[in-house]
């Protein structure tokens, strides 16, 4: 396993973006009537979290400062 165990700026940013996506999608599912548009926006935000992670990794922000 890696020394950093995911404790990098890239990993934490991706986690926060994904959490925001789950929050938006979950709120969309709890509305009455269910807002499928809001749900799919949440899904898109979760997918964007992966893109953000890869972009930050390519910028070197997924490395430890050891």
pLDDT tens track for 28-64:
999 999 999 999 999 999 999 999 999 999 998 877 6
CA distance 42 to 22: 6
Length of the chain: 66
Is the distance from CB of 42 to CB of 7 less than 8 angstroms?
no
Judging by beta carbons within 10 Å of its beta carbon (0-12, 13-18, 19+), is residue 66 exposed, middle or buried? exposed
How large is the C-alpha radius of gyration of the chain?
15
Higher pLDDT, 22 or 1: 22
**CA angle at residue 56 from 50 to 60, to 5 degrees?**
140
pLDDT at 4 over 70: no
- pLDDT at res. 45: 98
Res 63: pLDDT: 73
């Amino acid at each position: 396993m890696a020394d950093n165990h995911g404790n990098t700026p890239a990993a934490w940013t991706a986690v926060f973006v994904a959490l925001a996506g789950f929050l938006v999608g979950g709120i969309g599912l709890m509305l009455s009537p269910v807002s499928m548009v809001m749900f799919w926006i949440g899904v898109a935000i979760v997918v964007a979290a992966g893109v953000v992670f890869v972009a930050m990794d390519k910028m070197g922000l997924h490395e430890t400062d050891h």
